Copies of this chain bind each other. A is one copy, B any other.
Amino acid sequence: MEFKSERLNNGLAVIGEVNKSAKSAAVGFFVKTGSRDETSSISGVSHFLEHMLFKGTDKLSALEVNEAFDRTGAQYNAFTSEENTVFYAAVLPEYLEEATRLWSELMRPALRDEDFNIEKNVIKEEIAMYKDLPSFDVMERCRTLHFDGHPCGNSVLGSEQSIDNLTAEQMRDYFARRYVPNNMVLAFAGHFDWDRVCSLAADSCGRWQPKAIERKLDHYEGSEKKERLGKANLVREHICLMSAGVSAQDPRRFAASLLGMIIGDDVGSRFFWELVDKAVAESATMQFGAMDGTGAFSSYIQCASQNVARVLDIVGAVFDNVVRNGVTEDELRTARNKLLSSLVIKNELPMGRLVDLGFNWSYLGQYLTTEDEVNAIKAVTADDVRSLIERFDLRNFTQFCLGPA
């Protein structure tokens, strides 16, 4: 395993972890832009733009892009979050350069008016589809309520209205401001030749022009507001709770992940035993999400309407208990094993490894081996979790409920 990094003159970071025993290779562009970098008048533009990159360049039609990826046998896709837009491909080693060249071309898309107008409908259908998923809808509404004006509360998809009002010109302007080389990381993982991909990167991306960029990075404690919305078609109550946590740059992020797992992992967690196993709720999970400069714990619970009060009592008792007594060594050991095995198994594949590499570089400007992360997780003590809870009291949560009208 060997790590390499280089910064092109225009600021593009090129990084790679070479693993000669891997059978595949992965490449990804990590663009540090997402809904938190949008204003309300362009809400949803980051995600819409991600779609538009597949529509081709001045030289390539959408059909040709599709066929070109297809020929390499690539497993390729993209995703957009509040903070990042990531384009990736996993391929057999002999096709890595072709896939890299292709993505590099697509990073300078045509953004044609015609494609923009057609894709608008696809985006609006995606919004409608997600609005129909109460688990998604309640999380998004709770996030907006929790961040209450802070840009981390912005919707990734935007609204039907914001997408309707968006113009291709606004998208091109956003693209020109955010897809600058000094705001991107080009990462490689698995079996590849560093010198070759590096010179390919210089050839393909070296002429992109840098530009000053910014992002608001204030930490936010959360509004602690409580709201409920009734919807005629719903049968179950969907509850989302959010409270403040540490940022992606904070060394305590590992303790925070373990705490989230102890309280709300799918199985074997406190929520599992108190809510799901006792059949008070159908599902009850908590996750910690680290973000740029801030972070949050999010819980999602689904239950019958008549159980809501009981669920909230139990959740209150779980939070109280953990604030008063911390977590046990047993719980910590189990959570650690679960977190370690999911980390190690994910990172065993070049494609999984790529995501960690890219995000660590984006957030920390730092290379961490899988071993570094394993050791950081192993080092977390019950006392570390306790001081984390003292600083970030889980009881100070924002709450959104979505249920029958």
Chain A contacts to B: CB under 8 angstroms? 21-24, 63, 66-67, 70-75, 90-92, 95, 267-268, 277, 333-334, 336-342, 344-345, 347-351, 370
Residues of chain B with a CB closer than 8 A to A92's CB? 337, 340-341, 344
Q: Which of A268, A350, A370 counts the most chain B CB atoms within 10 A? A: A268
Instruction: Give the CA-CA distance A317 to B271 in the complex, in Å.
Output: 55
Could you list some 18 contacts between A and B, CB below 8 A?
A: A21-B21, A23-B345, A23-B347, A23-B348, A66-B268, A67-B268, A71-B334, A72-B337, A73-B337, A75-B342, A90-B341, A91-B341, A92-B337, A92-B340, A92-B341, A92-B344, A345-B349, A345-B351
Residues of chain B with a CB closer than 8 A to A337's CB? 71-73, 92, 95
Query: Which chain B residue shows the least CB distance to A339?
Result: B73
The reply to whether B22 and A90 form a contact with Cβ atoms under 8 Å apart is no
Residues of chain B with a CB closer than 8 A to A71's CB? 333-334, 337
Instruction: Give the CA-CA distance A351 to B342 in the complex, in Å.
Output: 12
The reply to whether A24 and B67 form a contact with Cβ atoms under 8 Å apart is no
Checking B66, B90, B336, B370 against A345 with a beta-carbon cut-off of 8 angstroms, the contacting residue is: B90
Task: Given A90-B345, A344-B92, A345-B351, decide whether A70 and B338 contact each other with a Cβ distance below 8 A.
Answer: yes
The reply to whether A349 and B347 form a contact with Cβ atoms under 8 Å apart is no
CB distance from A18 to the nearest CB of B (A): 14
Task: Give the top 3 A-B pairs by smallest Cβ distance, nearest first.
Answer: A73-B337, A70-B268, A73-B341
Instruction: Give the CA-CA distance A194 to B48 in the complex, in Å.
Output: 51
